[in-house]
Amino acid sequence: MNPDGAGVGVTEDGTFYTQVNMTQTTEQILGLTPMNQFDLVASPMTEIFVDNPPAVKPELLAKESHAGKALRAGWMKKKDQIFARKLTKPDSEDPNTVNHLDWYEATGFTRPYPGESKVLPASAFKKAESVKADDDD
């Protein structure tokens, strides 16, 4: 059991798991050896996995509209601009742009950024500027 009680949880069926159970399960999935005696003896979380997961019906998959494809393409071009050059200066990109990119990628470019009413195109954000490697503050 986790000695400090952190990461404790109970599943729907009432099975009690700790963070160490999750670590042990992850180690088994990845084929890693236990890191210490706690995850060595922890029970894997096999009860929460199924051998035959249900297939996703094709009609349930969201079909991306033409506008959605264009929005995604614009953001992917912006992503290429942001990450194309070797950045040697931390936080050199506009954090608002990167935050929006992260949000849109995580939500499939379909949900507006929190506090906004619509998904914004990449062109609404300032252009990524080049960073000089020898430029120190």
Buried b (16+ CB within 10 A) or exposed e, 101-119: bebbeeeebeeebeeeeeb
Residues 40 and 76 in one domain: no
CA atoms within 13 A on the CB side of 6: 2
User: Which structural domain range is residue 101 located in?
Assistant: 66-124
Q: Is the pTM of this model over 0.85?
A: no
Is the pLDDT at 116 greater than 90? The verdict is yes
Q: List pLDDT tens digits, range 85-113.
A: 656 666 667 788 889 999 988 888 888 99
Residues 40 and 70 in one domain: no
Q: Which of 12-21, 44-53, 113-122 has the lowest mean pLDDT?
A: 44-53
Higher-confidence position of 58 and 101: 101
Selection from 12-16, 58-62, 113-117, 127-131 with the highest mean pLDDT: 113-117
Residues 42 and 71 in one domain: no
Question: What does the pLDDT read at residue 108?
Answer: 83
Is the pLDDT at 24 greater than 90? The verdict is yes
- Split into its structural domains, the chain has a count of 2
Chain center to CA of 95: 17
Residues 40 and 75 in one domain: no
- The whole-number average pLDDT for the span 51-59 is 66
